[in-house]
Amino acid sequence: MQYRILGRTGLRVSVVGFGGIPIMRISESESAVVINRALELGINFFDTARAYTDSEAKLGAVLGKRRDQVIIATKTMSRTAEGMAADIKKSLETMALDYIDLYQLHNLKDRDEFIQAFGPGGALEALKQAQKAGLVRHIGITGHIRSFLVEALKTGVMETVQFPFNAVEAAGADELLDLAAATGTGVIVMKPLAGGSIRDTGPALRFILEHPVSTVIPGMDAPGQVDQNAAVGADLRPLTDTERKSLEEMAAKLGTTFCRRCEYCQPCPQGVDIASVFLLDGYFTRYELQDWARERYQGMKVTAQECVECGECEEKCPYNLPIRAMLAEAKTRLG
């Protein structure tokens, strides 16, 4: 496994880190197998969140025993000092740790949240206090809207930034990447496969790591996935012309109106699993898996048929996707 320095935190992180969302779906013992496999293969950066149900607990149970060999990052969507302080305490308790290496403001979405988190009585105050008290070693920010992340980095307080960046969402990332480099901010890349839109893991991760980023954190919930991802970090090599061309073709095909599976639109009051519908629709339209996708879709407990077009999901989607119209199209193809 290769390692890079995470900006001015000075932490030495594996170029392939561990995204903590998918372990929510598996049992504690299965998670332990996956996490231990990652450790065996040299992965030392683990990212989770208060919002990822039992992910913190599952990671803490394994990583606590290897505390000096791992770098643990978590995050919360609390924007007030009070909420942030309470969540830092909860994270420490849940993971049974004395300190957390990196605590991040999770998914900063709009100007109001920015003003609240960075203003008087905001989350940043509690983060700084926790840092002074030694409960949190470093402070970072995560989000999907690059303009707010740029503003956050300009404050000079954030030591890391985490955002989606991949072969199909590369356009416009230069400003943020350049600013991160200029300010010594460590770059953590999430959603390396564009929410499942890219299937070729190796070239997708290597594309990202050709840029000035410290670590890329694909989610993993099976030992085989860990092997596949870690192998990329162990054998980093430039993309071949064919691989680059294939990623470019994929990007052109997807355009910008596609679901990144961030799930911020959930929950839908009708119970529609929006991201899964779009994933199956992607398999239908992009991968020529029509029968397979139809069968899976028709086996869903709640299909897009149940959408009553209330629009709640669209207000929450950071990519402003026309979800209702997209669901209607998917329904026609898959139903």
- The residue ranges that bind ligand SF4 (CB under 6 A) are 259-265, 268-270, 272, 274-275, 307-313, 316-317, 319, 321, 323-324, 327
User: Taking the complex as a whole, how short is the minimal distance between the CB of residue 39 and ligand SF4, in angstroms?
Assistant: 30
Amino acid occupying residue 58: K
Run of H or E residues at 186 = strand 186-190
Run of H or E residues at 76 = strand 71-76
Closest by CA position to 303, among listed 277, 280, 321:
277
Nearest residue (CB) to ligand SF4, 28 versus 309: 309
**Phi and psi of 200, rounded to 5°?**
-90, 90
Nearest residue (CB) to ligand SF4, 157 versus 302: 302
User: Taking the complex as a whole, how short is the minimal distance between the CB of residue 156 and ligand SF4, in angstroms?
Assistant: 30
User: Taking the complex as a whole, how short is the minimal distance between the CB of residue 269 and ligand SF4, in angstroms?
Assistant: 6
User: Taking the complex as a whole, how short is the minimal distance between the CB of residue 46 and ligand SF4, in angstroms?
Assistant: 23
Nearest residue (CB) to ligand SF4, 109 versus 244: 109
Distance CA 319, CA 303 (A): 22
Helix, strand, or coil here: 102?
A: strand
In terms of Cβ atoms closer than 10 Å to its own Cβ (0-12, 13-18, 19+), residue 74 is: buried
User: Taking the complex as a whole, how short is the minimal distance between the CB of residue 314 and ligand SF4, in angstroms?
Assistant: 7
Nearest residue (CB) to ligand SF4, 37 versus 261: 261
Closest by CA position to 212, among listed 12, 10, 74, 15:
15
Closest by CA position to 306, among listed 281, 333, 280, 277:
277
Q: What is the four-CA torsion angle of 94, 264, 298, 271, rounded to 10 degrees?
A: 80
Nearest residue (CB) to ligand SF4, 321 versus 334: 321
User: Taking the complex as a whole, how short is the minimal distance between the CB of residue 303 and ligand SF4, in angstroms?
Assistant: 11
Nearest residue (CB) to ligand SF4, 14 versus 276: 276
Nearest residue (CB) to ligand SF4, 156 versus 269: 269
Distance CA 262, CA 19 (A): 13
User: Taking the complex as a whole, how short is the minimal distance between the CB of residue 327 and ligand SF4, in angstroms?
Assistant: 6
Contact 1, 195 (CB under 8 A): no
